[in-house]
Amino acid sequence: MFASSPGLPATRLLQCIGICDNYTRFALDVRQAFIQAPSEPHEQFPVAYPKGLERYLQDEVTGQFILDSKGQKIPLYMVLRKNIYGSPLASKNWAKERNNFFLNKMPDIIGGRVIQMVYESCMFMIIIRSWRCKILLFCSTHRRY
């Protein structure tokens, strides 16, 4: 099973390292993380318009609605090109987007190296000259207040 969030042992271990080495801890919220990751064409699916905002197939010339064999208007659907909460692949696509940013784009931005940890894919080590920073990214689908 895939999880874009770190396991409990990795979270606790990073907290212990931070306390022992007197690291400063920062927390931030990646709002709407899942919708930032695009879906592959074979992962996209049709979605009906919300009630009250429905759209129907119209003739381009006359603008009149085209009816099916039962005399009903033919509904139009949207194609979901990004991920949403609840989509089965949202977590995996977000992890791919996150990894692409950290491993391919961030080294150019910071002028250093970024290494993804082998046993915990949510943990990255950032190295800029002799300075090292460990980052554990946690992406939860549950809100905490």
pTM of the predicted model over 0.75: no
Cite the beta strand spans of the chain per DSSP E.
45-48, 77-80, 113-116, 123-128, 131-136
- pLDDT score for 71: 93
Contact 85, 141 (CB under 8 A): yes
- pLDDT score for 142: 45
Q: What is the pLDDT along the chain (145 residues), one digit of tens a residue?
A: 455 667 788 778 878 888 888 877 776 666 567 777 888 888 888 889 999 999 999 999 999 999 999 999 999 999 888 877 777 787 788 888 888 988 999 899 888 888 888 877 888 888 888 777 766 665 554 444 3
| Degrees, nearest 5: CA angle 17-22-27 | 75
- pLDDT score for 3: 56
Contact 86, 34 (CB under 8 A): no
Domain boundaries, the chain: 8-39+84-136, 45-80
What six digits make up the tokens of 113? 């190296």
* Lookup result for tokens 């689908």: 141
